[in-house]
Structure 1
Amino acid sequence: MPLASRSLARLINSKLRTNTLVGFQLKCFASTQTTDLKEVLRELIPKEQKRVAAFKAEHKDTPIGQVTVDMIYGGMRSIKGLVYDTSVLDANEGIRFRGKTIEECQAELPKAKGGEEPLPEGLFWLLATSQIPTQEQVDWVTREWNNRADIPQHVVTMLNNFPAQLHPMSQFSAAITVLNLNSKFAKAYSDNVPKSKYWEYIYEDSMDLIAKLPTIAAIIYRNLYRDGTAVGAIDPKKDWSWNFATMLGYDNKYFIDLLRLYLTIHSDHEGGNVSAHTSHLVSSALSDPYLSVAAAMNGLAGPLHGLANQEVLIWITKLVEKIGITPTDEQIKQYVLDTLKTSVVPGFGHAVLRKTDPRYTCQREFALKHLPNDNLFKIVSQLYKVVPSILGDIGKVKNPWPNVDAHSGVLLQFYGMKEMNFYTVLFGVSRALGVLAQMIWSRALGFPLERPKSLSTDGLMALVAAQKKAATGDKPKA
């Protein structure tokens, strides 16, 4: 790697670890008491546009890394090729939402009265502004989403006519797509609105879509698993998660708090994961937020992404069937070793993280507080104790620690949500928060159409050969 690249990489990593870079960013995003989120963004965006423009002008030719053949064939793993501001994933610290760890978010973000977990409304405000919101600002977001939650009748009709065999994620994605009939951004674009105004219409669509997602998800859930019973009306006195839980048919206060936690921690995971990158790519073509988020949901539906928590629960269910609901550590160990003969242990390892996923840790803390004696939770705890050492002994696993998917399904099961096919829809409702907050900023900062260069296998081989000849001083034959 060139010296300039190494120096810049060390500088960036150091500043991220010490939070200096985050502190610099927060200076630009000074706190305000205004409760209207759009007005707050209207104040912040010109400042950030100026800061980014100056940085680009000064450093436009600065190299920031080296791409290897292994990275190209390895799914572009670790290639630095995106700007995505709402969250950053650090291999050693885990996810940071605008510089805040999950633990800090749990401590600092406003909570519902009587609740112990952060409100997703506050997390969205943080993602959109880099500011920890006041209780009044979070209450404003709640009211705004409640006021925008009505679902067009054509969407309801479509959902009610889907075959029961159609996967919940397919239904979810389709419903989001057809919501774009009322896209304010699409209409504004067709009316030749100036580029400087794009972000305002993306904001409006984003707020509308987030408001409607719980109702859409609840209709799907009720149609598939509750005999098509009505979801009821939005209660203006309830927060976003509480209304969602009620529409699903759950009134346990601890489940509601679990849902608040779930919707917060699954919201964003920097820009390189499939769902975030898909929304980033599709929206760069100026597709409206509905089309962009629908595309992201189709990526999230894959077994290597959002479907993973279902895979974990299936694996644990098979474990229970084979060795019982109260297995010993030795039985767990043997079951893991048997699994590794033909596959992997789902829920362990991560493409970036090199420690226990903080999203796993906060769910574990919730379980220790509210369901310490649940047998499935005890099995998850045994796996936490047994699996890392086994994977570490193999020597081929970079991260033997559990990720977020190792825990979430067990918690949902405890409170009665046993329909595993639906879990990814919950994930999708949450992930929309992160990708839409970033989408507002992508348009505000004028990010262009994404168009990376691809190579054929022959072309890549020829490029590598030419570089080797150049490095050794050999001249190509005429």
Structure 2
Amino acid sequence: MKKEYIIYKLSEEMKSCTKIDNELFQKYDVKRGLRNEDGTGVLVGLTKIGNVVGYERIPGGGLQPIPGKLFYRGYDVEDLVHSTIKEKRFGFEEVAFLLLSGRLPDKEELAGFLELLNDNMPLEQKTKMNILELEGSDIMNILARSVLELYTFDPKPDDNSRDNLMRQSIELISKFPTIIAYAYNMLRHATFGRSLHIRHPQENLSIAENFLFMLKKDYTELEARTLDLLLVLQAEHGGGNNSTFTVRVTSSTGTDTYSAIAAGIGSLKGPLHGGANLQVIDMVHHLKEKIKDWTNVDEIDTYFTRMLNKEAYDKTGLIYGIGHAVYTISDPRALLLKELARDLAKEKGRDKEFAFLELLEDRAITMFAKVKNNGKTVSSNVDFYSGFVYEMIGLPQEIYTPLFAMARIVGWCAHRNEELNFDGKRIIRPAYKNVLDVAEYVPLKKR
């Protein structure tokens, strides 16, 4: 029997054996995707790290949409961002300190923490060479493999004591920018035939500045500050987002840090999670071509109606970058990013494109409500603007999702540390209801 036929036959049988009637989920009160009927997440744990707020409960148990808020260790992210912008400094390192320690650093502590991060940015020579030798066009895959390889160079890879977890956290936060920059430069060389540039991280630069230096050498101050803002906004998003929950699930088994973080990378890579920014930028490029007059509301509304009715673009019925699992009226990350995106568009002479994006955002929300007519309140999410911002900074699409990982490694480490250190910890072990009848075994010779 040919191998191709065996695979085909097994694939056909997989189609039937994986089918489960939808009514069974209601019959057994199963929360698909760990979601309640009202769309909220099933409460599975407690945390003191991040808080994502998009609605409030009203008497009677209903949900009332409210402007979105994001808190890091109790601090409003808007306050953290506006403070760094006002003081013209970089904020990602301060946020990393806050999420790891639970408190804000003073000036001396922040300087020492930045120095510690810089000290840990260079890679072991073997790790560096292995990245340069890795084949593949997917930087997320290379990042995951590189993280697993770091296990072999760690003198205490399986030690889950507090001191060791903090050391590993700092080293991972420091090394992610270097791994991603080197991996892309190797991809650029091997796949596109460009010159290979390996630039070592510099002292006294922020993580955002060092990343841009290692990736492309030249950058403007506004580019670095905008990237820093994106890192701040994507550093943490509660314990329920898929990749962070993945890290907590694997960490609850007591496995090593590198295995848990590699699992988180695999989760973030998915197009329904961290890969969403690529879908937005592809959609926007498509709309730039299809919409003849970028200021014509009727033309935009007509095309969005066709998209929502699965008649245009990829015919999924989705407008990418619109809607979120928690945020309703607004995503605070999108609002904050939009502030700097406007300034960056002016610097780059792309004001017309930014105005088009703003109009798309407004009309997408309006047409979603009109066409879907389901009473659901939606807003743009951070992905709606992040791809455009990356593009203006001059960053290639291959690293959009890895940049998300470069920010979220902070939240992953904070949640892993919390999972392993709170009192009464237990392995995360939910249940699945089996809905198949018991079968009688038939001996091989009688089948």
TM class, shorter-length: 0.7 to 0.9
Work out whether residues 281 and 450 of structure 1, in 8 Å CA contact, stay in contact via their aligned partners in 2. yes
User: Which shows bigger deviation, 114-123 or 392-401?
Assistant: 114-123
Change (3 A) 1:426 1:69: farther
Residue in 1 that maps onto 2:408: 431
Matched, 1:378 2:355: yes
Q: Secondary structure at the match of 1:125?
A: helix
Find 1:279's aligned residue among 247, 252, 260.
247
Of Structure 1 and Structure 2, the greater helix share is in: 1
SS at match of 2:211: helix
Kept in 2, the 8 Å contact 1:242–1:256? The answer is yes
> CA 1:252–1:346 in structure 2 vs 1: closer, same or farther (change >3 Å)?
same
1:240 aligned residue: 207
Query: So what's the TM-score if we normalise by structure 2?
Result: 0.80
Conserved? CA contact 2:81–2:91, under 8 Å: no
Specify the SS of the correspondent of 1:439: helix
Whether 1:74 aligns to 2:32 is yes
Aligned to 2:159, what secondary structure does the other structure show?
helix
Structure 1 residues 134 and 453, CA gap change in structure 2 (3 angstroms): same
Contact 1:117 1:261 in 2 (8 A): no
Cα displacement string for residues 266-324 of structure 1 (whole angstroms, at most 9, x for unaligned residues): 01110111110011111111222221111101100000000001000000111112224
* Structure 2 residue 97 is the aligned partner of structure 1 residue 144: no
Whether the aligned pair in 1 keeps the contact of 2:277 and 2:387 (CA below 8 Å) is yes
C-alpha distance 70-135 of structure 1, shift in aligned 2 (>3 A) = farther
Q: Which residue of 2 aligns with 1:102?
A: 77
Partner of 1:334: 302
2:326 is matched with which residue: 315, 338, 352? Answer: 352
Match of 1:74, as an amino acid? Answer: R
Is 1:396 matched up with 2:361?
no
Could you report, residue by residue, the CA deviation over 1:27-67 in whole angstroms, capped at 9, with x for unpaired residues?
xxxxxxxxxxxxxxxxxxxxxxxxxxxxxxxxxxxxxxxx9
**8 A Cα contact 1:391 1:397, kept in partner:** no
- Give yes or no for the alignment of 1:406 onto 2:406: no
Structure 1: 5+ residue stretches without partners: 1-66, 190-197, 460-478
Deviations, residues 67-113 of structure 1 (Å, cap 9, x unaligned): 986973420111100223210111133321112222111134x57xx
**C-alpha displacement of 1:210:** 0.9
- Answer yes or no: is the 8 Å Cα contact 1:218–1:248 preserved in 2: yes
Percent identity, aligned pairs only, is: 23
Q: Is the 8 A contact 1:276 1:435 kept in 2?
A: yes
Q: Which residue of 1 aligns with 2:398?
A: 421
TM-superposed deviation, 1:399:
3.4
SS where residue 51 of structure 2 aligns? strand
Candidates 435, 440, 445, aligned match of 1:457 = 435
Q: 1:118·1:264 contact (CA, 8 Å) conserved in 2? A: no
SS in 2 for 1:371: helix
Structure 1 position 400, deviation (Å): 2.1
Does the Cα contact within 8 Å between 1:148 and 1:208 map onto a contact in 2? yes
The 3-state SS of whatever aligns with 2:129 is helix
Structure 2 counterpart of 1:272, which letter?
Answer: G
| Conserved? CA contact 2:95–2:232, under 8 Å | yes
Is 2:189 the counterpart of 1:217? no
2:201, 2:213 within 8 Å by CA — same for their partners in 1?
no
Higher alpha-carbon deviation: 208-217 or 78-87: 78-87
Residues paired across the two proteins, number: 380
| Secondary structure class of the residue paired with 1:457 | coil
Q: RMSD of the alignment, in Å?
A: 2.3
C-alpha deviation, 1:157, in angstroms: 2.5
Contact 2:181–2:211 at 8 Å: present in 1 too? Answer: yes
Kindly provide the CA deviation profile for residues 188-215 of structure 1, in whole angstroms up to 9, marking residues without a partner as x: 36xxxxxxxx122111111111111110
**Taking structure 1 as reference, are residues 138 and 430 closer, same or farther at Cα in structure 2, changes over 3 Å only?**
same
Per-residue CA shift, 1:221-248, capped at 9, x if unaligned? Answer: 2122363623312211212221111111
Question: AA paired with 1:297?
Answer: I
Quote the Cα distance in structure 1 between the aligned partners of 2:433 and 2:91: 45
> Do the aligned partners of residues 151 and 353 (structure 1) sit closer, same or farther apart at CA in structure 2, a change above 3 Å counting?
same
How has the CA–CA distance of structure 1 residues 347 and 318 changed in structure 2, closer, same or farther, with 3 Å as cutoff?
A: same
SS of 1:306 mapped into structure 2: coil
Distance apart, 1:177 and its partner CA: 1.3
Structure 2 residue aligned with 1:156, among 107, 128, 149?
128
Correspondence for 2:19: none
Q: Within 5 Å, give how 1:13-162 maps onto structure 2.
A: 72-77=30-35, 78-91=41-54, 92=66, 93-108=68-83, 116=88, 118-162=90-134
Residue from 164, 189, 195 that aligns with 1:201: 164
For 1:267, the equivalent position in structure 2 comes to 235
Three-state SS of the structure 2 residue aligned to 1:95 is strand
CA 1:404–1:281: 2 relative to 1, 3 Å: same
